[in-house]
Amino acid sequence: MVQVKICGLKTGEAVEAAIEHGADYIGFVHFPKSPRHVELARAGELTKMAGGRVKVVLLLVNPDPALIDEATHLVSPDLIQLHGHESVEDVRAIRLRANLPVIKAIPVETLMDVRAAGDYGLAADMLLFDAKPPKDAELPGGNGIPFDWSALRGFNTDKDYMLSGGLDPQTVKAAIKATGAPIVDVSSGVECAPGEKDLHKIKLFLEQARS
């Protein structure tokens, strides 16, 4: 059964919709440039609201040690997602400091980008393959663009990985079929405006991913 992560949640209503319709993971973004940004204290409140019914992922971008400490204290997530330019050594250090499993986002444009992710696979608990952002983009992810899914064909790992990038209720079935991804991750694809989740689209995405 394919698992689903609904990322970029900001409200209690969106959290409840994701859980009600069967999400396996929910994600909170702490990155001020993002329209999905939430303060750590608010992410902590939403985590408590989830009440252990789903795994909580906190997305950070190039975090320093102080931010890692504050995030783990205020949010208590189940996993940390790193979506910046963190090196393999950074991933190892953050994982050790947070004492939590770490997901490392890998920006993908071609097959070579996937192959280059090998060293990260040894440092992180899970990889997330996302579309490489446009050169002028301010956001490292959540840009609503796909990449060529054929780049993942033949990707072998003994760990689960996530597929992201331009997924929505209309494309997720094809993406799963093309890649065999065990986990799919959506953010902008279930929104009615940047940062504003559409509860009906959340429901549709989960139905399509599971069908």
Tell me: the pLDDT tens digits for 18-52? 999 999 999 999 999 999 999 999 999 999 999 99
In the chain, how many domains are there? Answer: 1
Beta bridge partners of 129: 106, 163
Tell which residue, 209, 5, 3, 208, has the closest CA to residue 105: 5
Summary count for the chain: helices (H), strands (E):
8, 10
Domain containing 84 equals 3-210
Phi-psi category of residue 76: left, alpha or beta, with phi > 0 → left and psi -120 to 50 → alpha:
left
Mean pLDDT, the chain, integer: 91
Distances (CA, A) of 200 to 50, 161, 207: 19, 26, 11
For range 138-163, the mean pLDDT: 71
On the question of pLDDT at 142 being above 60, the answer is no
Predicted pLDDT at 134: 53
Domain at 139, CATH number: 3.20.20.70
Using DSSP's 3-state secondary structure scheme, residue 82 falls into strand
Predicted pLDDT at 114: 85
Catalytic residues: 7, 130
Helix, strand, coil proportions of the chain in percent (round to 5)?
35, 20, 40
- Residue 145's pLDDT band (boundaries 50, 70, 90)? low
- Residue 70's pLDDT band (boundaries 50, 70, 90)? very high
